[in-house]
Each structure stands twice: as C-alpha cells, then as structure tokens.
Structure 1
C-alpha cells in the first residue's frame, strides 16, 4: 500500500492539471482517501495506476454470500456454489431474490445491508443474498476499484449457478448496489449477459475512477432488462449525468436536504440507501418527469407529478428517462402529491 501511495503522489506531481482546469468526472477525479479527504488524479495517471493493480486484484478478490429469509431474518446463512450448501439453507426458488452489494470499506453486516434486508423481508417472502467482497475493505480506494470487475464476475457466476441448478428466476431477480457496489452489480449483469437479470438498482453509483464514455467498465443501462439509478451526490462521490435507463434525482441529485454543509458528500451519498429502503417499504417517492438531466439538476421540470414512483418494482415496464424527486429533510423523506 505504501508503494501505491508513493506512486500516486509521483504521478500527481508530474501530470496533474492546473486547479482551474479540473472537472470532476470529465478530465480526472477527486479520489477519496482513507482519512476522508479527496486528492485529484488525472485520467492518464488513473489509467496507469489501475493497469498495475488489475492483474493482482483479479486473482485475490474473495467474495462470499449470506442468505437471509423470513426463517432467518437476522442471522445470515453463508452459501456457496454447492448443492449441499443451498439445500441446507432456506433458499426457496419460488420466492423472488434480491442481491445486495455494499461499497468501499463496507462489509455484509453494515447497516445498509441490514436495512435493505429488513425492508424486503417486511414486504413478503424473499431470498435476500448479501454480498461480502473482501477487497473493498482495503483503505486504498484505487485497489477497491480495481477489484470491482472480479467481484462482479463472481456475483454473476453465483446468479448463474442458482438459476441453472436451483431454479432461481431471473425474471424476479433484483440486484441492488451502493456506490462501488453499484458497479459490482453492473459487472454481474455483464457476466450473466443478454439483459437477463431483470433489474439492477444503483444507489448513487460511485463516480471517482469511472468514466461516462466507458460504459463497459461501469454500471450502464444495458446491464439488465431494467437499470435504475438513484443519484444523490452527483459530481462528487456519485455520477451527475444519467447512467440508468431510469435515472432519479432526489432534490436535484447533487446534495440532500438535512445534510448540512456535508463536506465530502458522505451524508448525501448515503441518503440513496435510506431513500431506497423507504421506497421499498412505503412506495412514497413521487416524481416529476424531466426533459433531460440538466432540467432535473436545476429543478426545472415543472410541478406536475408523474405516475412513476422512485424505486417501485413496476418501473421496469414503464420507466425511461430522467426524473426530479422532491424529498423532505428527514424521514419520511418521500413526498407524494
């Protein structure tokens, strides 16, 4: 890790653009550091560094899976691609399945996973499979980004295994990922291929070190039959431009009410999780259809609510485009007409 830090510093010193020319997500990124600070990295430098990590990370990315059901709502049962493992669990092919994927420095027991699991199990009988990808737990963000394709491939392999050997329906499958986990979900969709995963929901997909013009290296609208992106910290930790088939911009997508000054954007970034949990349990996020994403950012989409609710399971069949989402500063966050 020390070598990586030194390399980043040398690259930054040699090639960094002048401050006035830096546009986050366009010609480089403000990359998160372990201490919460952000450091600028030009595109060329980032690509050089990532190319050095990728061969290592692809060989050393442990991914594990924990199943939660109504029968074991709080005590996850680890499962793997083995018949006895699945038969010894409460997996039920007749129930819908939800994969949940954490982001950088996360783990499967994080509050995000607990809340999303509880939300879905409160709505009925589901197989909720929480993904734990070990390489994300390093303090080095660049190393975690390099591990995303490998982690996503392993999630995709697990999806294929459950579908092919245990009858899991792809038509009733939803993969939910937060931040870096959204891109892991995207690579899972790429692995399964053919838009066969029904729905992927990206919760403020991470922007640092991911490019708009390289959709094959991030979550994109072709990774599932339907891809929904809920963007809450656009231009900082998350994407500003739309990357889903249906893209939702709570409060305009840059920052969220009730988060105060929110230096670094962590509060707004995490709000995507809280909004999604509430959307699952309450279905109360009214939306306003926008002509384009710039209108959504500027809250210039009018005041007429559409018949679309953010996070609704029916969106796969009726949603395309960009939506402004009015929100409250505290729970309940959703607003309906």
Structure 2
C-alpha cells in the first residue's frame, strides 16, 4: 500500500506546476527515469515522498566492499567488517586508502570504478575499496535516493571499523563518489563525524531531489576536512551551485565539449569520472580561479592559469573557492596553458 501511495505522489507531481514556472533544483526537479527521459516533481511532493518510511520493494539495503591493490589490481577481494576478512586480504594499513562509490544503476564492476581504481594503482600502493550499493537501489530514481543515507552510513561504519581495528589512517583517506554516490560519500563523512575523513571528492554530485539549502541531506563542505566538487552537468543531472570547499566548473560546469547535443546530460555527467581518472594519473588539468561561481559558469574568470590543478593531492592543504577548468573535446582532456 505504501508503494502505491508513493507512486500516486509521483503521478500527481507531473502536472502540479506550469512548465514556465519550473526551476530545476529550486521549486522542484526534473527527475531522471530509467528510459533516459525526465519527469517533473514539485518540491513539496518530493519531500513527502522522501519522508515516507516505505521500504524499497525487493531490496535488501546491502552494501558490499571490494578491495583492489597492486597485488590484485583486476580481481576485487570482498571484505567485511570482520577481523579474519581483513587479515586474509591484501589490505595494508601502511598504504593510503581510497573508497570509490558508484551512482544510480551502477555496480562495482562498472567502468567508472575500473578507471578510478586503475588511476590510483598507477600512482603506487593504495588500498582501493570499491563500494557496491546496488542492492540499496531501485530502477526508480526517487526510490534510490531514499537508499542514499543508509548506504552512506554503512560506508562510514566500514571506515570507522578499519580505522579503529586495523589502523587505517583517516589522514590519508579519500572517498570518491559519482552522482548519487557523491551524496553517499557525504553521508559516510557525516557518520564518521567531526570532519575526520580527510578528503571527499564529489564527481558531478546528483542534483535531482537534493536541495542546496539542506546540506545535512547531501554532500556538503562540512562532511570532510576537505571536500572537492567537480561539476560537469550543472542544472540537469548535477549541481550548479558550489557544494564543496573547492568547486571546479569544467568548461563552465554545464555541458562538456565533444558531447554533442547531450540533452539528457548523460555524456557530460559521465565526463566527471574521465576527467578525475586522467587528473589522478597525469595531473594535467590547469584551472583559472574565479571571483564567484557565477563567473565560473559564464567563463568570465580571465585567462590566467592559477597554480591549482584539478584533483591534485595538495589541494586539501590550502585550496578554497571556485575555479573554471578549460578542457579539450577528447582525451587527453586536460589543459595546462
């Protein structure tokens, strides 16, 4: 019965506001559907739906973790919050740890996880832990959003376990999430608390059904010591306004060169992953500092490159603000002059 009520809210939302009054992310959202189209949902209806306690039908809210290291770069070892599981794995507390979190309809074997895993392992010895939270999702986007807090809490609990029982350093920890996965990363940071997670990188954090004015329900700059947001499809699938301590607007943050028409934003949204993986391996994305995010959106930040690079290791030490990032239309995407 609760599922039927939720579906009726969705149906009512489609006709609630006249088209000319709809502002995505302000008074409602264009919510993605499984077939790639969008449907409008008024803010009030969305809040009522997300507040419902109805479970995700047929879903067990499981979150699993797969460890990749230079000893097992292509075959992940499933690890659990259990002493024997960690001790029998290739986890090494002396190496930095990276958690990687996929988005809606994703899975741990997806190309985004492979690309980011390969990028970090090309840099040296790391524990790359890929989060699989597909069992917390549904083919329905709105229902999947409701799985985000629980998934993020479980990621946070795993971080706490590895830190408290197996010596994992929080000082060298990075949590990287794409789209909905960026908000899962935010909730993980909230679970650990007190900005003890060192770095969270949000790759085009998902906009639909997330509000700028409710940072407690999304990735925010307070969820880690340093939060970096890489925005590539603002206003469609990703955020427009800055939600990190440092926010990087690639090619203005809305649409990416080489993506064609890209009305649904699929290509531009996915580019954030490709840019990040390339930045980790090549450190080749120069940036131009902007006075504010509006200047970054409009590419009105001048032409002088700053000394800040996208996703650079040292950014956490002293980088803050808004940056325009020029890119090429095909790989290699980064520009340094």
| TM bucket, shorter chain | over 0.9
Q: Find the aligned partners of 2:276 and 2:29 in 1 and give their Cα distance.
A: 26
Native 8 Å contact 1:57 1:150 kept in 2 = no
Q: Following TM superposition, by how much is the alpha carbon of 1:55 offset from its aligned partner in structure 2, in angstroms?
A: 5.2
Q: Find the aligned partners of 1:315 and 1:139 in 2 and give their Cα distance.
A: 36
Native 8 Å contact 1:153 1:188 kept in 2 = yes
TM-score by length of 1: 0.97
SS at match of 1:183: helix
Native 8 Å contact 1:103 1:136 kept in 2 = no
- For residue 160 of structure 2, what is the aligned residue in structure 1? 160
- For residue 201 of structure 1, what is the aligned residue in structure 2? 201
Question: Is 1:12 the equivalent of 2:14?
Answer: yes
Q: Find the aligned partners of 1:252 and 1:147 in 2 and give their Cα distance.
A: 30
RMSD of Structure 2 on Structure 1 (CA) = 1.4
Deviations 1:265-301 (A, max 9, x none): 0000000000000000000000000000000000000
- For residue 265 of structure 2, what is the aligned residue in structure 1? 265
Q: Following TM superposition, by how much is the alpha carbon of 1:318 offset from its aligned partner in structure 2, in angstroms?
A: 1.6
Deviations 1:107-157 (A, max 9, x none): 000000001000000000000000000245421001110000000000000
Q: Find the aligned partners of 2:159 and 2:18 in 1 and give their Cα distance.
A: 45
Q: Following TM superposition, by how much is the alpha carbon of 1:302 offset from its aligned partner in structure 2, in angstroms?
A: 0.4
- For residue 280 of structure 2, what is the aligned residue in structure 1? 280
Query: Kindly tell me: are residues 250 and 11 of structure 1, through their superposed partners in 2, closer, same or farther at Cα, counting changes over 3 Å?
Result: closer
SS at match of 1:20: helix
Provide the aligned length of Structure 1 versus Structure 2.
334
Native 8 Å contact 2:13 2:40 kept in 1 = no
- For residue 233 of structure 1, what is the aligned residue in structure 2? 233
Query: Kindly tell me: are residues 57 and 190 of structure 1, through their superposed partners in 2, closer, same or farther at Cα, counting changes over 3 Å?
Result: farther
Native 8 Å contact 1:106 1:137 kept in 2 = no
Q: Find the aligned partners of 2:9 and 2:28 in 1 and give their Cα distance.
A: 17
Query: Kindly tell me: are residues 41 and 153 of structure 1, through their superposed partners in 2, closer, same or farther at Cα, counting changes over 3 Å?
Result: same
Question: Is 1:172 the equivalent of 2:172?
Answer: yes
Q: Following TM superposition, by how much is the alpha carbon of 1:7 offset from its aligned partner in structure 2, in angstroms?
A: 3.6
Native 8 Å contact 1:98 1:175 kept in 2 = yes
Q: Find the aligned partners of 1:27 and 1:315 in 2 and give their Cα distance.
A: 34
Deviations 1:281-333 (A, max 9, x none): 00000000000000000000001100000011110012100000000000000
Q: Find the aligned partners of 1:136 and 1:115 in 2 and give their Cα distance.
A: 23
Q: Find the aligned partners of 1:245 and 1:330 in 2 and give their Cα distance.
A: 28
- For residue 307 of structure 1, what is the aligned residue in structure 2? 307
- For residue 56 of structure 1, what is the aligned residue in structure 2? 55
Question: Is 1:124 the equivalent of 2:89?
Answer: no
Native 8 Å contact 1:182 1:203 kept in 2 = yes
Native 8 Å contact 1:96 1:127 kept in 2 = yes
Native 8 Å contact 1:288 1:325 kept in 2 = yes
TM-score by length of 2: 0.97
SS at match of 1:268: helix
Gaps of 5+ in 2: none
Q: Following TM superposition, by how much is the alpha carbon of 1:2 offset from its aligned partner in structure 2, in angstroms?
A: 7.4
